[in-house]
């Protein structure tokens, strides 16, 4: 016997979907209005990578570092209006060669989401790789957690030549491709959602 869908259920699902879409569109329009307002002016944003260190343990190299994030008012408004900000951590391990271009050994990318939780009146930081998440009552605490890189596995020594030299390149950025489509278009024309660090380079050694 073929199951029949209940018209009221289908209508309810459509209404729920419409409300969610309307809420997202409203949030995007509010943030866009802030970005385009004549009273809006460019604010300094920055990502600074510091306190980088590597450690060899059980034949695996691990990375730890401190990343300081400074967000502008447009990014904070986006958070308050329910838009998640995704930050991409990118790491390369390259073999240094004297007469040839450096050779890439490993390229890693980790993504972290920062979001505002209106019910708890706090912030959530989520590692999209393993879905681990932590809740924070203040933006300062959330950004501190976001910027804490602790014992990130880099490369197994079996992939490395013990006689060669290696360097690590590290940077992090706000992933504009993870923004809602209207904000992605807006980010193409102005710098309010442009945020990335310089490449930080140092030798792979203890």
Q: Which residues does 80 contact at the CB level (< 8 Å), separation at least 6? A: 116
Number of H helices, E strands in the chain: 4, 9
Predicted confidence at residue 22, as pLDDT, reads 47
d(CA 150, CA 66) in angstroms, rounded, equals 9
Give the pLDDT score at 180: 85
What is residue 147's predicted lDDT score, i.e. its pLDDT?
96
Q: Which 3 state secondary structure label does DSSP give 8?
A: helix
- Residue 112 makes CB contacts below 8 A (sequence gap 6+) with 86, 87, 89, 125, 126, 127, 128, 146
For the stretch 27-81, pLDDT in tens is: 444 444 444 444 444 456 789 999 899 999 999 999 999 999 999 998 999 999 9
- Separation in Å, CA 199 to CA 138, 169, 173, 202: 29, 6, 10, 10
Q: Is the pLDDT of residue 138 over 50?
A: yes
- The answer to whether the CB of 167 falls within 8 A of the CB of 91 is no
Closest by CA position to 170, among listed 75, 98, 86, 63: 63
Which of the two residues, 169 and 194, has the higher pLDDT score? 169
Angle between helices 181-189 and 7-36 (to 10 degrees): 10
Query: For the chain, what is the radius of gyration of the CA atoms?
Result: 22
Residue for token pair 């419409």: 18
Q: Residue 163's CB: how many other CB atoms inside 10 A?
A: 5
Q: Beta 148-156 vs 60-70: how paired, if at all?
A: antiparallel
Against a cut of 0.95, is the pTM above it? no
pLDDT digits over 139-176, tens only? 999 999 999 999 999 999 999 999 999 999 999 999 98
Domain boundaries, the chain: 8-37+45-203
4 backbone dihedrals φ, ψ, rounded to 5°: -105, 135
């Amino acid at each position: 016997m073929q199951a029949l869908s209940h018209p009221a259920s289908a209508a309810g699902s459509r209404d729920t979907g419409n409300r969610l879409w309307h809420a997202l569109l409203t949030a995007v329009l509010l943030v866009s209005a802030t970005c385009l307002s004549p009273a809006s002016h460019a604010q300094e944003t920055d990502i600074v990578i510091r306190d980088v260190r590597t450690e060899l343990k059980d034949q695996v190299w691990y990375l730890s570092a401190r990343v300081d994030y400074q967000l502008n008012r447009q990014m904070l408004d986006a958070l308050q209006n329910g838009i998640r900000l995704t930050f991409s951590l990118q790491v390369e391990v390259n073999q240094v060669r004297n007469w040839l271009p450096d050779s890439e050994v490993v390229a890693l990318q980790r993504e972290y989401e920062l979001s505002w939780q209106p019910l708890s009146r706090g912030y959530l930081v989520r590692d999209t790789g393993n879905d681990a998440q932590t809740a924070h009552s203040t933006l300062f605490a959330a950004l501190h957690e976001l910027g804490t890189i602790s014992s990130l596995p880099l490369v197994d020594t079996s992939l490395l030549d013990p006689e060669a030299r290696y360097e690590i390149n590290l940077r992090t950025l706000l992933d504009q491709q993870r923004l809602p489509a209207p904000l992605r278009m807006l980010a193409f024309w102005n710098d309010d959602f442009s945020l990335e660090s310089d490449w930080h380079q140092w030798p792979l050694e203890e």
